[in-house]
Amino acid sequence: MWQDFGEVNSTNTTAYAASKDFDGKPKVFTALSQKQGRGRIGRKWVSLKGNLFFSQLFYLDVPISYLVFISSVSIAESVKALAPKLEVSIKWPNDVLVKGGKISGILIETGESNTVIVGIGVNLVSAPKADNILYKVADLRSMGCDISREQFLQTYLRHFNSNLAICKKDGFLPLRQKWMSYAAGIDKEILINQGAKQQKGIFKGIDEQGYLLLKQGDKITNIAVGDIFLKD
């Protein structure tokens, strides 16, 4: 089920309200604009008109930690399906980059009745411009790729359902392999910001739980959370 709105506070908030009386059928909520779009770690998601904002609501029967990888791989696959010539990569754990610029954000939250909510924003027609943006951002139209909200969402949902089914059947390993094929910065030096702590090292991919593998000398450390910065 796909329900489209004009303006909402956020599609995740709309999905959460719907989770209180969830009937078990997966649902998708989209909006033309959001007044209070949210990103990870309490950050604001700038919701520019013409871009895609949506939230999925469903029962989860794979580990919730899989979802950032299922969603990011599905966004990357959608871009490649709709614009095969574009250079697409994923910056750990879930930032999809096109030509090095971030085009999407993912926020995963739990709802009522044992549901999960996957909120996604995709810069289809424009990218925000502000001094306090953490990473370089991009949009698909400026790269010559004119895709409608409906076209991108339909493509994404097809890939998402396929990747979710793969995880249900075979676990995380096949998805890990897909994610690694898009990984940005493999075998290159990265900086990881963990609040008051920063670390540098060589990015060696992800482990069987999705943790980042950071090589420092002869030691490899598993990193669960942090903002990573790639060298140009």
pLDDT in tens, 96-135: 999 999 999 899 999 998 999 999 999 999 887 755 556 7
Does 219 lie in the same domain as 176? no
Does 220 lie in the same domain as 133? no
Does 178 lie in the same domain as 199? no
pLDDT computed for residue 36 by the predictor = 54
| Secondary structure (3-state) at 151 | helix
User: Rounded distance, CA 86 to CA 54, Å?
Assistant: 23
Does 223 lie in the same domain as 145? no
pLDDT tier at 42 (50, 70, 90 boundaries)?
very low
pLDDT tier at 38 (50, 70, 90 boundaries)?
low
Residue range(s) defining the domain that contains residue 89: 2-182
Q: Is 33 exposed, middle or buried (0-12, 13-18, 19+ CB in 10 A)?
A: middle
More reliable by pLDDT, 136 or 70: 70
What is the β-pairing status of strands 227-230 and 189-194? antiparallel
Tokens at 215, concatenated? 């090589």
Domain with 220 in it: what CATH number? 2.30.30.100
Does 85 lie in the same domain as 53? yes
| Secondary structure (3-state) at 68 | helix
Average pLDDT over residues 25-31: 94
Biggest alpha carbon–alpha carbon distance for the chain: 54
Does 78 lie in the same domain as 176? yes
Does 11 lie in the same domain as 125? yes
Does 59 lie in the same domain as 154? yes
Is the pLDDT at 41 greater than 50? The verdict is: no
Q: Total domain count for the chain?
A: 2
Average pLDDT over residues 21-37: 84
User: How many beta carbons lie within 10 A of that of residue 126, not counting itself?
Assistant: 17
The reported pTM is 0.92
Does 57 lie in the same domain as 7? yes
Average pLDDT over residues 150-160: 97
Does 175 lie in the same domain as 155? yes
